[in-house]
Amino acid sequence: MRPYSRRGMLGIGAGAAAAVSLAGCGGLTGSDGSSHADGSGDAAQGGSKPKPTARPIGDGSTAYTGKQPHQPGKPEPLEPGQTPPQFVVFSWDGAGEVGNGLFSRFLDLAKEHGASMTFFLSGLYLLPESKKRLYDPPNNPRGASDIGYLTDEHVKDTLKNVRRAWLEGHEIGTHFNGHFCGEAYGSVKNWTPRQWRSEIDQAKSFVKEWRTNTGWTDLPSLPFDYDKELVGGRTPCLLGQDNLLPTARELGWRYDASSPGGRQVWPVKRQGIWDLPLQQIPFPGRGFEVLSMDYNMLANQSISTTKAPAHNYPGWREQSAQAYIQGFQRAYESNRAPLFIGNHFEQWSGGIYMDAVEEAFKHIAREKEKGADVRLVSFRQFTDWLDVQKPEVLARLRTLEVGQQPSGGWKGFVEKTPQGAGTPSRNAA
């Protein structure tokens, strides 16, 4: 994968970037009363509930199997004086299994700690290379892709892990298809709303028709209706959001995670869609902040994904882990803004970024398990929570800057409604 541009190209996280002034209620409760996000104790964990009968959709590539397992209970609005939970979303771009075992590694980690995540699946990862001409990318030759295609075996492995992910309570979003990020006209940053609609329709079709496209009839269906499951995505290289949003709104999407250079503050809506960006977080030992994603850590540590001096790896791994941890601590101890983390199933620099995000995940999970008011959720689950909050409460939370604690503590803070409070939106339409 060629995910995110290097130093300076996103205008964030580089040494030349100006320093930015950055400064609920218990854990998740499963719908069955479990205290874990994965709903431990239900039928998938050996209980006695009967398994629902699958109802094939279309060619049987997907199927309706009932309510998704391992979901938290119904979200509740904050009560007056209540401290907001600390939400943390771990997300994965591409979400393809390429034989390195990373998809299952992080599914295992999430299951161990009762967490949910979001997997932004690239539609091409379910399309065999032999059928690549089925893909007609906007402003690019038919069958072209800047991330290539998976082998048949890796397509099968990806199907297996996507199926497992959904059954274990994770969200399946989209990372679209061909990942065109260059400066040419064909880059996603130049696509029109109509072209984004074509890209999305194709991404969905590759998920909904993998059985037809592969001819494999001996593999189980994906256990969800992707038309209903898909409510958000992240664009390649964090490009093109402005023209994507009208299409996302038309499709009924609830959020978009494509903004570059977000800050650790409470989110707003853009064009009726929750804008949930990757964020600038502390970068230990450096005089600037870094985007909360593995590739941007790498871009500020090394000029190469494979040829950097190995003796630097331990220090870089720890620097990356501490960036996530310090971003978490800053939010948890101040404004409780959600923390959004993005990564890829890659082994850059000897796999140090996978080790770093695992270290950070375990640190945050331990805080939750010790009783901290932390929720490890998917973007969809966080959006569910946002949507039941009172607009004036969210407006009040947005008055807190990065690292800013409410004056006088949380007691009574959300009762104080700022003048003209509502649900502010940037670039509202």
What pLDDT is stored for residue 11 in this prediction? 34
What pLDDT is stored for residue 92 in this prediction? 98
Q: 84 exposed, middle or buried (CB, 10 Å; 0-12, 13-18, 19+)?
A: buried
One-letter amino acid of 294 = D
CA 291 centroid distance within chain:
14
Can you read off the two tokens belonging to residue 284? Answer: 């230990």
What pLDDT is stored for residue 10 in this prediction? 37
Q: How far apart are CA 124 and CA 367, in angstroms?
A: 37
Exposure class string for 173-208: b at 16+ Cβ within 10 A, else e: bbbbbbbbbeeeebbbbbbeeebbbbbbebbbbbbb
Q: Could you tell me the pTM of the whole model?
A: 0.87
Q: 51 exposed, middle or buried (CB, 10 Å; 0-12, 13-18, 19+)?
A: exposed
Domains and CATH numbers, the chain: 86-411 (3.20.20.370)
What pLDDT is stored for residue 417 in this prediction? 57
Q: Decide: 382 and 89 in contact? Cβ < 8 Å.
A: yes
Q: How many other β-carbons are positioned within 10 Å of the β-carbon of residue 281?
A: 28
- The pLDDT of 263-267, averaged and rounded, is 98
What pLDDT is stored for residue 304 in this prediction? 72
Q: What is the pLDDT of residues 63-94, one digit of tens each?
A: 999 999 999 999 999 999 999 999 999 999 99
How does the average pLDDT of the chain come out, rounded? 87
Structure confidence at residue 51 as a pLDDT band (50, 70, 90): low
Single out the residue of 4, 2, 100, 6 nearest to residue 347, CA to CA.
100
Q: Decide: 69 and 228 in contact? Cβ < 8 Å.
A: no
Report which of residues 427 and 402 the model is more confident about: 402
- Secondary structure of residue 95 in the 3-state scheme: coil
Q: What is the pLDDT of residues 315-348, one digit of tens each?
A: 999 999 999 999 999 999 999 999 999 999 999 9
Q: How far apart are CA 408 and CA 405, in angstroms?
A: 8
Q: What is the pLDDT of residues 115-161, one digit of tens each?
A: 999 999 999 999 999 999 999 999 999 999 999 999 999 999 999 99
Can you read off the two tokens belonging to residue 387? Answer: 């949507």
Residue where the block lists tokens 């992707």? 226
Strands (E), 30-144: 55-57, 62-64, 86-94, 118-121
Asked whether residue 22 carries a pLDDT value surpassing 90, the answer given is no
Q: What is the pLDDT of residues 278-309, one digit of tens each?
A: 999 999 999 999 999 999 999 999 977 677 88
- Secondary structure of residue 175 in the 3-state scheme: coil
Can you read off the two tokens belonging to residue 111? Answer: 């299951």
Q: What is the pLDDT of residues 207-244, one digit of tens each?
A: 999 999 999 999 999 999 999 999 999 999 999 999 99
Q: What is the pLDDT of residues 150-204, one digit of tens each?
A: 999 999 999 999 999 999 999 999 999 999 999 888 999 999 999 999 999 999 9
Say which range, 39-43, 120-124, 418-422, has the weakest mean pLDDT: 39-43
